[in-house]
Amino acid sequence: MIEKEVLYAKWLSGEISDQEIISQEGADVLAELQRLKKTVDQWSMPKYDTSKGYEKFKHKHVNQKAKIRKINWFKLSGIAASLLVLVFAFNSFLFNKNEVLRAQNGLTENLAFSDGSEVWLNDGSSIEYNAKKWETKRNINLEGEALFHVSKGSPFVVHTQNGDVRVLGTQFNVRAWGENLFVECYEGKVQVEANGQKTILTLGQTVNVVQGNMKEKQRTNQQAPSWQSGTSRFFNEKLNIVFEELERQYDVTINFDRSDQHFSGKFNHDNLEIALRDICKPLGLTFVINDDQNVVVIE
């Protein structure tokens, strides 16, 4: 942190350029430095008209002997204090800044944390977490679907828009697309909490939260999420959620008039036409794929 403070101080004094800050720390850091400097500048005295001040000085003192001007240490200490506040505020910004990891459409991502825990993100999914506080506060915000291997340690909490999952050391999968939350436990215990409802899952158990209502726990023989072996599974989910998943897996655009239809079943990730057939045929739908294989029309 000392090296960073020296770097920021050099920028404040004009010794290094904006581009050097960007190359070493990134554009976000430069933007925050500029914002904080602007705030500190507003604490200083109003701007002084130097031209008028000089003319006034000549008129009043041109024939007078020069006087010794004492340094106003109080003002200098105020400037120093302002700079210290700036450095402290910026360090606080860095300490509380969250990291973001996102898996692009058609791809997955893996991340190992400092405590040995790991996460695998399904395509299109993302997590946000604070790496600086990780050892004492293992909190993750998840959008989408991810598999977690959690090492023992401080409480590990996965927050989603549809509910929270709390663990101490285990392996589990969380899927939180749309209005629903699906959690499968492959090892240890997890607590699922949603809309004021709670349940504990152990090895081989799964629970679905559908539109805020927690269903009965179910048994599963799964030892890993199906998406890791190239398959997406659905349990009575809205058809638009199914097509959104297919869009992410194949990185295509699907034109479809939303309906109240639901789908239970699966599709594989290695052939777009077969995947569409597996979804559409049971529901009496047809589809057309454009020549570039990137747009699908459902009828």
Return the domain boundaries, the chain: 2-96, 99-219, 231-298
Model pLDDT for residues 179-195, shown as the tens digit of each residue: 889 999 999 999 999 98
pLDDT at 67 over 90: no
**CATH number for domain 231-298, candidates 3.30.460.80, 3.55.50.30, 1.20.58.220, 3.40.630.10:** 3.55.50.30
Model pLDDT for residues 197-208, shown as the tens digit of each residue: 999 999 999 999
Which pLDDT score is estimated for 200?
Answer: 94
Model pLDDT for residues 259-292, shown as the tens digit of each residue: 788 899 999 999 999 999 999 999 999 999 988 8
pLDDT band per the 50, 70, 90 thresholds, residue 45: very low
Token pair of 156 as six digits: 């590990």
Look at strands 138-149 and 156-160 and give their pairing.
Answer: parallel
Distance, CA of 227 to CA of 269 (rounded, Å): 9
Q: Which of 287, 177, 183, 190 is nearest to 238 (CA)?
A: 177
**CATH number for domain 99-219, candidates 3.30.230.70, 1.10.3720.10, 3.30.870.10, 2.60.120.1440:** 2.60.120.1440
Q: What percent of the chain has pLDDT over 70?
A: 77
